[in-house]
Amino acid sequence: MTGAIVAAKALSKWYGEVIGLNSFDLELHEGITGFVGPNGSGKSTFFKLVSGLIRPSVGQIRVLGEDPWANQPLMARLGFCPDYDNLSDEQTFRSFLAFVGGLHGMRGPTMGSRIEEVARIVGMGEHIDRRIGGYSKGMRQRTKIAGAMLHEPELLLLDEPLSGTDPLGRREIIALVQSLHAEHGHNVIVSSHVLHEIERLTPQVAVLYKGRAIATGNIQEIRGLIDKHPHNILVESDRLDELAKRLVGLPCVVSMQFSPDRTGLTVQVTRPEEFFAAMPGLVEAVGCRVRRMLSLDDDLESVFRYLVG
Amino acid sequence: MYTFRKLLFSRRIFITLLIALFVGGVMAYATTQEMDTLAGGTDMLDNIVLSFFMPVMAMIYGSSLVRDEIDDRSITQVVASPMDRMVTYAGYYLGLAASVCAAILLVLTTGFLVFFGALGFGAGSGHVYGSMVALVVIGSFAYSALFILVSVLISHPVYFGLLYAFIWEGYIGSIPGNIRLLAVKHYVRSLGAHWIDVGAISRYNASTPGDAATVLAVLTVGLLVVGALVFRRKEFP
C-alpha cells in the first residue's frame, strides 16, 4: 500500500444488516480519480471512510499514509465536499467559509484574503455576500467545493458534485475540478453515477457496484469492456421516421425500436459517445425538434450488471 | 460563539419570549393577591423559574443542539475539521450553557421586574434576585451538561428531555425523602437554601451547601467528560 494516496484492503462497512462496502480493495494515486457507480454502490460510504466520519467494520484504509478514523490532525490535509446539501440558507458564501476557516484554525486578514481567492477560483466572486438561500443548485455545489478547498488540502473528496446541476453548471464544475488539479495542485477523488460525466473529468476511474470495486484503471480499457454491450438510448422527437432512416447509417447503431405510439425511438448503440456526437448534425439535417434524449443506461445498472457478468 | 448565536437568535428565541411573557403575566396576577411581598415573590420565582422552567428550557435548547446538526448534517464540516472532537464538544457545551443561562435569566428578570416593580423592590429583593441569578447560572451549566449528552446519545432526545424535565425533575424531584437526591433541582435548591433567607427555599435543607456544590460539580464535569468521549468516538454516517 505504499505510494498510494488512498489504499483500502479487504475494507468492509456494514450499517446493521445493510452492506455499504464489501471486501473492498483499491489503491488510488495522485491526480484526479473518478468514482462511478449507481446509487447504493458504496461511493458515499467510501468517502465517509476516507474522511474519518465512519470507521471500517473490517479491513483497513490508509489515507495519505495514515488511518483516518479518529485522526483529526489528518483532516487538515483533506477537504470533504459531501453529496448532501448541508448549507444554511441564512448564511452567505463569505460567512460560511469564515465558519469553515475558523474550524481549520484560520483567522483574520489571511482568512479574509483566502476566502476572496477561493471565491474567485470557484466563480462565486460576485455572489460572495449574497444569502445562500438564493443560490442555484450549481452555486450551492460550488460553495460546498469552496468549503472543502479553503484550507488548501492535499486531497479533495468531492462526492457527487455534479448532482442536480443543469448542463451549464455541470460544464463549469467539471472545468473547476480539472483546474483544481491542474492549476492548484489538489489531488481529487470525485464521484458520479453518470459515466459520461466522469469520463469528461478524468481518464482514471474506479467503477463501484454493490459495495465492490469491479473495475479500476484507465477509462478507455473499461469502456472497451462496456462498449461490447449495446446501450439503449431513447429519442423523443417529431419526424422520427426520417430521423430513423438517417440513424441506420451510423456504424454504432445496432438496432432501433419505435414506441407503440411512435413518439419515441429506442436506439441500441455500441459506442454512445459516437452516437451523441453525430446527433446534432442529423437533427439539423432532418430539421426535427428533439423533445427528449436520454441514455436508458445512464443509471449504469445495466452496464454494471454486464461488467459483473 | 457560533453555537451561542445559533441557539439564541433562532426560532427558540420566540419560545423564550413567550415563556418570559407567560411568567410576566403570572407574576402580574400574583401582585393582585394578598401575600408577603418578599417571601411571596421569592416563592413564585422559585417555583416557576428555578423548579419548572429552568429544566424545561435547558431541555428545549440542549436536547436539540447537536442532534439538529447531526440530522441536517451540518455537523459534517465540524467533525471533518482538524479540531479535536473533545474540544469541539466543549465548545458546543459552553455555547449551550451560555444560551440556556441567557434565556432563563431573561425569564427570571422579567418575572422579578414585573412582581417587585409593581409591589416595590424594598429591602432584600435585590439579594433574592442576585442569589437566583447565581442559581440559574449553576443550574444552566449542570442541565446543559445533561441535555447535550442526551442529544449526542439519543436519536429523539426531545422525548427523553420531556420525560426528564416534567416527570423526573418535576415529580420525582418534589417527592419528600431521599429519592429527590436523584434530581438536579434538589442540589440547586439546597444551595439556594443557604443563600436566600426568605420563602420556602430558605427552609429547604436536605443537603449541605458543600455536598450540593460537590455533587453539582462532579455531575457537570462527569457528564461533560462522558459526552466528550462519546462524541469523539461517534460515527456520522
pLDDT tens, residue by residue, A17-44: 888 998 889 999 999 999 988 888 899 9
Residue A205 forms beta bridges with which residues? A34, A217
Note whether B81 contacts A: Cβ–Cβ < 8 A.
yes
Distance CA B186, CA B183 (A): 6
Query: How much is the pLDDT for B114?
Result: 96
Cα A132 to Cα A28, A60, A88, A136, A231: the distances in Å are 34, 38, 7, 9, 39
- Determine the residue among A53, A63, A81 to mutate to test chain B binding: the one whose Cβ has the most chain B Cβ atoms within 10 Å: A53
The one-character DSSP state at A205 is E
Residue B175 has pLDDT above 80, yes or no: no
Find chain B residues with C-beta within 8 A of A147's C-beta.
Answer: 77
Residue A16 has pLDDT above 90, yes or no: no
Find chain B residues with C-beta within 8 A of A99's C-beta.
Answer: 2, 77
All structural domains of chain B with their residue ranges: 2-233
From the list B84, B232, B236, the residue facing A53 with the nearest CB is: B236
**b/e map B160-169, b = 16+ CB within 10 Å:** bbeebbeebb
Contact A72 B74 (CB under 8 A): no
- Determine the residue among A46, A66, A71, A86 to mutate to test chain B binding: the one whose Cβ has the most chain B Cβ atoms within 10 Å: A86
List the single residue in A with minimal CA-CA distance to B74. Answer: A86
Contact A53 B72 (CB under 8 A): no
At B10-23, the pLDDT tens digits run 677 888 899 999 99
Please give the mean pLDDT across all residues of chain B: 89
- Cell digits of residue A273: 459517445
Cβ–Cβ under 8 Å, residues B225 and B64:
no
DSSP string, A246-299: HHHT-TTEEEEEE-TTSSEEEEEES-HHHHHHHHHHHHHHHT--EEEEEETTTT
Residue B30 has pLDDT above 80, yes or no: yes
From the list B2, B84, B237, the residue facing A54 with the nearest CB is: B237
Query: How much is the pLDDT for A1?
Result: 47
B48 to chain A, minimum CA–CA distance in Å? Answer: 35
With cut-offs at 50, 70 and 90, classify the pLDDT of residue A265: very high
Distance CA A267, CA B89 (A): 57
B230 to chain A, minimum CA–CA distance in Å? Answer: 12
Cβ–Cβ under 8 Å, residues A35 and A190:
yes
Higher pLDDT, B232 or A272: B232
Q: Which amino acid is at B208?
A: T
Q: Look at A60-64, A125-129, B4-8, B118-122 and tell me which has the smallest mean pLDDT.
A: B4-8
Distance CA B107, CA A230 (A): 70
Query: How much is the pLDDT for A194?
Result: 79
State the pTM of this model.
Answer: 0.80
Share of chain A above pLDDT 70, in %: 93
Contact A70 B232 (CB under 8 A): yes
Q: Look at A147-161, A271-285, B79-93 and tell me which has the smallest mean pLDDT.
A: A271-285
Residue B3 has pLDDT above 70, yes or no: no
Query: How much is the pLDDT for B134?
Result: 96
Residues 54-73 of B with CB under 8 A from A: 72-73
Distance CA A48, CA B76 (A): 10
- Cell digits of residue B112: 422579578
The interface predicted TM-score (ipTM) is: 0.79
Higher pLDDT, A266 or B166: A266
Query: How much is the pLDDT for A47?
Result: 95
Length in residues, chain B:
237
Distance CA B25, CA B46 (A): 16
Residue A79 has pLDDT above 90, yes or no: yes
